[in-house]
């Protein structure tokens, strides 16, 4: 097994242009938590400044269920009232919490690293300052197995509906 060599530069070197990483497909992925960091940081979104909050930073190894494409993605669980839904769905995905439970929950943070679950990746397009188009992978939601099955059924129906509308266009 060959290991990829990292290229290092000095302050006197010319730097090459950045290389776009291949984009993983949208869809259902299994994941394992490679690393968990607990930090306190200022959280600001387009809609609101949440001030300083505790944030769980996750490094996730992901594998597409259909294509088996693999990668790593970083995700943050913001421990603030309006974001608690994401932390709850994460813990349901890894089996620490029952989906939809209205009970108070005490996460077992010490058991998060190495845990496995399912998530849905979507693409968020964005435009760079130079006008170039990019796609950012984004964790749309964490899923239980039952939710993943429903999501896959919906996606299959969308594809079938799309195929039917394409047929109708060709027949006209």
CATH of the domain at 124: 2.40.50
Whether 171 shows a pLDDT value over 70: the answer reads no
* Domain count along the chain: 1
**Residue 26 near residue 57, CB atoms below 8 Å:** no
The H-assigned helical ranges of 7-144 are 84-93
Q: What is the torsional sign of CA 6, 60, 51, 134?
A: positive
167 located within any domain: no
Q: Is the per-residue pLDDT at 60 higher than 80?
A: yes
Judge whether residue 93 has pLDDT over 80. Answer: yes
CA atoms within 13 A on the CB side of 49: 3
pLDDT attached to residue 170 = 45
Is 155 a domain residue?
A: no
Higher pLDDT, 134 or 90: 90
> Is 164 a domain residue?
no
**Total-model pTM:** 0.78
Is residue 34 assigned to a domain? Answer: yes
d(CA 155, CA 133): 26
Within a domain: residue 115?
A: yes
Q: Is there a domain that residue 108 lies in?
A: yes
3 lies in a domain?
A: no
Burial class (CB in 10 A: 0-12, 13-18, 19+), 61: middle
Range of the domain at 41: 27-144
In a domain, 131, yes or no: yes
């Amino acid at each position: 097994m060959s290991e990829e060599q990292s290229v290092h530069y000095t302050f006197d070197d010319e730097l090459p242009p950045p290389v776009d990483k291949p984009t993983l497909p949208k869809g259902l992925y299994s994941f394992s938590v490679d690393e968990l960091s607990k930090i306190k940081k200022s959280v600001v979104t387009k809609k609101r400044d949440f001030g300083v909050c505790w944030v769980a930073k996750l490094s996730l190894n992901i594998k597409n269920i259909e294509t088996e494409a693999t990668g790593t993605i970083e995700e943050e669980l913001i421990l603030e009232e309006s974001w608690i839904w994401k932390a709850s769905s994460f813990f349901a995905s890894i089996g620490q919490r029952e989906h939809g439970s209205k009970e108070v929950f005490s996460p077992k943070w010490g058991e998060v690293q190495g845990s496995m679950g399912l998530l849905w990746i979507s693409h968020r397009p964005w435009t760079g300052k130079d006008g170039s188009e990019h796609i950012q992978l984004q964790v749309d939601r964490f899923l239980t197995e039952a939710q993943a099955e429903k999501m896959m059924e919906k996606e299959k129906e969308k594809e079938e509906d799309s195929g039917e509308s394409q047929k109708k266009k060709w027949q006209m």
